[in-house]
Amino acid sequence: MNLLLSNDDGIFSLGIRTLANTLADAGHQITVVCPDRERSATGHGLTLHKPIRAELVETIFHPAIKAWACSGTPSDCVKLALGALLEQPPDMVLSGINHGSNLGTDVLYSGTVSAAMEGAIEGIPSIAFSLTSFAAQDFQPAANFAKTLVQQFGKNPLPEAVLLNVNVPAVPQEAIAGVMMTRQGLRRYVDQFEQRTDPRGKTYYWLAGELVQDVPQPSVELLVTTAQGSRILDSAWLNSLPTDVQAIRGNHITITPLQFNLTCASGLAHLRDWQLEL
């Protein structure tokens, strides 16, 4: 398959190198377009008010891989690749492997997820991969699973463009308990701003949020939009699934399908009964 890879940890990160080389060794055609430095937690930001530059990187990847270092955000990287660097659209867009988890509401801030989401917006099936530890250095189990998942896509393509958010526990391959399909959980932080003073006597603030994992998960309804129209999935079945936050605690790989349509189906149903007049 023809695969476009990006990330938010930067072109020199171990995660992207392990993912790209593993997939190239499996026979896939790989193009890498990544930020030239770490751009974590940039969300879906785009560069609009200054030029974007891209330079070929020829030394750190498998010889068959064509790699570019881009001055922009993760979303810029995918946009640039699709609009200027690639001669034809890829079969898939892959992002990662991120150094750290992207669970629950993390996906709203994640540059890793946003790079993959850019592919989904363009109608290309996309996957975001994250290793759930900032300290771990063994990305190979996650890369091995990425290879398996890409093969599954080749045999059973999804009926519509979709983003899969995949989190892999940072444990040895043999300690992974299995794979679980999950819904997006709720991962809340208590923001703590530490006030400091720089050498010139000026005040600045450093964000250091404390993670609160055990947040009650509300029931949800999911509005799915396809070329044939919109429909609401069965909420009882949906709410019976574990969340990604819950499943990762048991050392399961979690796969959560995401979409860029953020419409709240239950909110629409509630608003339908409002009497609004100008």
CB 118 within 8 A of CB 78: yes
Q: Is residue 173 part of a domain?
A: yes
% of the chain surpassing 70 pLDDT: 90
Range of the structural domain that residue 69 is part of: 2-184+241-261
User: What is the count of structural domains for the chain?
Assistant: 1
Q: Is residue 46 part of a domain?
A: yes
Q: Is 263 helix (H, G, I), strand (E, B) or coil?
A: coil
Query: Is 122 exposed, middle or buried, given 0-12, 13-18 or 19+ CB atoms closer than 10 A?
Result: middle
- The predicted structure's pLDDT at residue 212: 65
Token pair 């979303």 is at which residue? 75
Angle of helix 14-25 relative to helix 140-155, nearest 10 degrees, comes to: 50
Which helix (H) or strand (E) covers residue 83, if one does? Answer: none
Q: Is residue 274 part of a domain?
A: no
In angstroms, rounded to a whole number, what is the distance separating the alpha carbons of residues 83 and 63?
24
ω into 97 cis (within 30 of 0): yes
Beta-carbon-side half-sphere exposure of residue 209 (alpha carbons within 13 Å): 9
CATH code of the domain covering residue 83 = 3.40.1210.10
Q: Is residue 84 part of a domain?
A: yes
- Pairing between β-strand 252-258 and β-strand 178-181 as defined by DSSP bridges: parallel
User: CA of 171: how far to CAs of 131, 138, 140, in Å?
Assistant: 9, 9, 11
DSSP for 147-178 reads HHHHHHHHHS--SS--EEEEEE-SS-GGG--E
Q: If phi over 0 gives left and psi between -120 and 50 gives alpha, with beta otherwise, what is residue 100?
A: left
Q: Is 118 helix (H, G, I), strand (E, B) or coil?
A: helix
User: CA of 212: how far to CAs of 184, 191, 221, in Å?
Assistant: 16, 10, 24
Q: Is residue 51 part of a domain?
A: yes
In angstroms, rounded to a whole number, what is the distance separating the alpha carbons of residues 50 and 72?
10
Task: Supply φ then ψ for residue 223, to 5 degrees.
Answer: -90, 115
In angstroms, rounded to a whole number, what is the distance separating the alpha carbons of residues 71 and 83?
16
pLDDT class of 159 with cuts at 50, 70, 90? low
Q: Is residue 78 part of a domain?
A: yes
Q: Is residue 31 part of a domain?
A: yes
Q: Is residue 272 part of a domain?
A: no
Measured from the Cβ of residue 188, the count of other Cβ atoms closer than 10 Å reads 16
Asked which of 22-26, 179-183, 209-213, 253-257 is least confident by mean pLDDT, the reply is 209-213
- The predicted structure's pLDDT at residue 262: 81
Write the pLDDT tens digit of every residue in 54-79: 999 988 999 999 999 999 999 999 99
pLDDT class of 241 with cuts at 50, 70, 90? confident
Enter the pTM of the model: 0.88
In angstroms, rounded to a whole number, what is the distance separating the alpha carbons of residues 110 and 239?
24
Write the pLDDT tens digit of every residue in 217-236: 555 555 555 555 555 555 67
pLDDT class of 203 with cuts at 50, 70, 90? very high
